[in-house]
Amino acid sequence: MISPLRRLLEEGNPAKVLLLALLFTDGVFLAGHIGLDLIGAEGYFDPAIEQASGEGYQYVKWIWCTLMCWSLGAFLPLHRGWTASFAYLFLDDSLGLHERAGIYLSRWLHLQRFEAYYRPIEIGEAIYLCGLGVLYAGLFLMAARACTAGQRASFYPFALLLGAVLAFGGVGDILHAAFWNARAERLFELVEETGEMLVLSVLTAYLFSLWRTTGAWPGSRRIAL
């Protein structure tokens, strides 16, 4: 039996074409961002800047993943929970929810006293992201326990890819915020945004490949997992 993740790379699978197109587009955005950054220009391609084209491209992938998760009830345990989580991640990316939470927590917890060591707002962000990580870990564990035998093959690669996106977005955000040195901070930020962008593209293509197996795609057929 071919695993769903390996099926993604099969010749003739439209999801493979989608994956290559997404990764190529990622490369264009990242090359444009790095090029502009080297000459000191504004990062119009920067996926970390709200309203920039790179960030808008990420929004499309989050929305697409949200919609596909909703239709994958037969393949993903707790699929409504994953749908809600993708919707939240889209809102967080587009509205900067964890940044807003960092500002609120820094004031509420009086984190200004640590200003000699770290920036108070980013300590607040780290606390918020750690709490969010606990919630996602719980969702992963509940979904793993709820998995049927037929869902395991499709869920585990999904969990691995989503976990990698969260690791780049959350852990990377905490690490790059811990540096006062501008160059080190910028390097960690670049690694964070690059990793999140590339892995989210793989996850989008993987969900699309799973979605095709439901028979919802014109001309597709159901494939036993």
SS3 annotation, the chain: CCCHHHHCCCCCCHHHHHHHHHHHHHHHHHHHHHHHHHCCCCCCCCCCCCCCHHHHHHHHHHHHHHHHHHCCCCCCCCHHHHHHHHHHHHHHHHHCHHHHHHHHHHHHCCHHHHCCCCCHHHHHHHHHHHHHHHHHHHHHHHHHHHCCHHHHHHHHHHHHHHHHHHHHHHHHHHHHHCCCCHHHHHHHHHHHHHHHHHHHHHHHHHHHHHHHHCCCCCCCCCCCC
151 within some domain = yes
> What does the pLDDT read at residue 64?
92
Per residue in 80-98, pLDDT (tens digit) is 888 899 999 999 888 888 8
Q: Is residue 162 part of a domain?
A: yes
pLDDT value of position 163: 92
Specify if 50 maps to a domain.
yes
pLDDT, averaged in runs of 10, over the chain (225 residues): 69 86 90 72 54 76 91 76 90 84 81 66 80 89 85 86 88 66 72 88 92 56 41
Residue 223 lies in a domain: no
In total, how many domains does the chain have? 1
Residue 41 within any structural domain of the chain: yes
Give pLDDT, residue 96. 82
222 assigned to some structural domain: no
Q: Is residue 171 part of a domain?
A: yes
Is residue 225 in a domain? no
Name the residue range of residue 184's domain.
4-213
Question: Is there a contact between 48 and 176 (Cβ–Cβ < 8 Å)?
Answer: no
CA-to-CA separations, 177 to 81, 181, 192, 200, in angstroms, rounded: 29, 10, 11, 22
